[in-house]
Amino acid sequence: MTDAYLTVTSSASARITRERSRFVALVFPAPTREEVVEALSRVRHKYHDAAHRPSAYRLFALPAPITHTDDDGEPAGSSGRPILREVEARDLYDVLAVVVRYFGGTKLGLGGLARAYADATREALAAAQIGTTERRLRLRITCPPDLLPVVLALVGHHGLKVERTAYGEVVASVAPTRLRRFREALTEGTGARAHCEEAS
């Protein structure tokens, strides 16, 4: 389990040429499949005259990331996989990468295509701003009102961020790796009179 992961914080692009074929690599922050679909739609509209627009995305999820590749008419494995490998090599998540190809009249072969798509993606990722996304779990903590000061002290000690407090209730967020220890401390510190559960 991790408390944070790397992602791109804004869109970026790069252009390369191989044997007169032009490759335009585009990377986008895409934390959800809906945002992937929206970005792909924009790319298809803007580059409607391109020969191919293969893509790959990698979204953070547990126990394993969600990945998908699309060769978009190129030979199987020649484009989507090389694009994804560049994203994986930088250990990035919540990223969509698309490489638009304008065919220049000379066939590159499987190896040449794979290298071109990988190189273009690598350059676009090098141009992108990389940031960290922190993961937080939202908790609802309930307790007898007289224990609220004790609960708030434990919340502060274990690095939780308080959203709100009410009569016998605290809503706060915690880093995933701190959750187990906080639960144990809450049980011990309140004699099992306070309880917490994940909140939506």
Mean pLDDT to the nearest integer, 93-116: 92
What's the rounded Cα separation, in Å, for the pair 86 and 29? 15
Mean pLDDT to the nearest integer, 112-125: 96
**pLDDT tens string 36-69:** 999 999 999 999 999 999 999 999 998 899 999 9
Q: What domains, with CATH codes, occur in the chain?
A: 4-133 (3.30.230.30), 136-198 (3.30.70.240)
Q: Of the candidates 97, 121, 127, which has an alpha carbon nearest to the alpha carbon of residue 16?
A: 121
Residue indicated by tokens 């044997």: 19
Question: CA torsion angle for 67, 68, 74, 79 (degrees, to 10)?
Answer: -10
Say yes or no to pLDDT of 89 above 90. Answer: yes
Residue indicated by tokens 């701190």: 178
More confident residue, 78 or 106: 78
* HEC sequence for the chain: CCCEEEEECCCEEEEEEECCEEEEEEEEECCCHHHHHHHHHHHHHHCCCCCECCEEEEECCCCCCEEEEECCCCCCCCCHHHHHHHHHHCCECCEEEEEEEECCCCCCHHHHHHHHHHHHHHHHHHHCCEEEEECCEEEEEECCHHHHHHHHHHHHHCCCEEEEEECCEEEEEECHHHHHHHHHHHHHHCCCCCEEEECC
Mean pLDDT to the nearest integer, 149-163: 94
Read off the pTM: 0.80
